[in-house]
Amino acid sequence: MAIYLGIERDMLSCSDTKDYDYFIASVHYFTRPDGSHSGVDALSDVMQKYVNECCGGDGLEMAEQYFSLFRDYVIESKPAIIGHFDLVRYNNSILHLYDEESSEYRLMALEALRAMFETNALLEVNTGGVARGYMTTPYPSAFILKEWKAWGGEVIINSDCHDSGLLNAGYDQAENILLSIGYDHVVRLSSEPDKEMWERIDIKHF
Ligand SMILES: [Zn+2]
């Protein structure tokens, strides 16, 4: 079977993308004015401190920073896959930093995503939060998947589970969400050595 070498590459990583067959781009950190870092998916008190000290207490400003960083990173690095696009929701159910239903939030997310779409990257449907038990639905939110579909974008399901026992955790739910939005296929790595690296697969037979 074909075996590919890939990584999830954070925006701050110094790894050379040429050493890999593909990489998943993601953003996990904000850089503070003093050069230190604050995690997007850090504990909630760390996130609240960042919002208070670096965003004037405005959670929407924090989300804007996150999406801007991510947009610029994807445009510059051209990954195969956009990883957990709205990880910025990580602490929102606890901290209520912004309203995920608001047009301000949705527009800023979609504007960043539209710019990323132009790079032809796959959008990851990431079940990692579900697999590890802190999210009830995968990243990204349904409104994002709907818009991505309308643009003609392609998706890939990944569990990002950090645990071999959970490799396909949350896949049934992710497939059902995609089907309900109108997707009929996803993209995955091909296992055939003499075929194209990526292949489309019907969701019903996934
Ligand atoms: Zn990640």
Q: What is the CATH number of the domain that holds 78?
A: 3.20.20.140
**Is residue 170 included in any domain, yes or no?**
yes
Task: Grade residue 172 by pLDDT with cuts at 50, 70 and 90.
Answer: very high
- Domain assignment present for residue 89? The answer is yes
CA dihedral 135, 138, 139, 144 (to 10 degrees): -120
pTM: 0.95
- With respect to residue 159, please indicate whether it lies within any of the assigned structural domains: yes
Range of the structural domain that residue 121 is part of? 6-205
CA of 84 to the centre of ligand 1 (A): 7
What is the DSSP code (8-state) at residue 34? T
Could you tell me the distance, in angstroms and rounded to a whole number, from the CA of residue 27 to the centre of ligand 1? 7
Residue 1 covered by a domain: no
Query: How far does residue 194's CA lie from ligand 1's centre (Å)?
Result: 30
Cα 63 to averaged position of ligand 1 atoms, centre (Å): 16
Indicate whether 79 belongs to any domain: yes
- Asked if the structure places residue 10 within a domain, the reply is yes
Number of domains into which the chain is organized:
1
CA 123 to ligand 1 center in whole angstroms: 14
Residue 49 falls inside a structural domain: yes
Q: What are the pLDDT digits (tens) for 52-99?
A: 999 999 999 999 999 999 999 999 999 999 999 999 999 999 999 999
Compute the average pLDDT of residues 192-202. 94
Residue 28 Cα to ligand 1 midpoint, Å, equals 7
Residue 204 Cα, ligand 1 centroid: separation in angstroms? 27
Rounded to whole angstroms, how far apart are CA atoms 164 and 184?
27
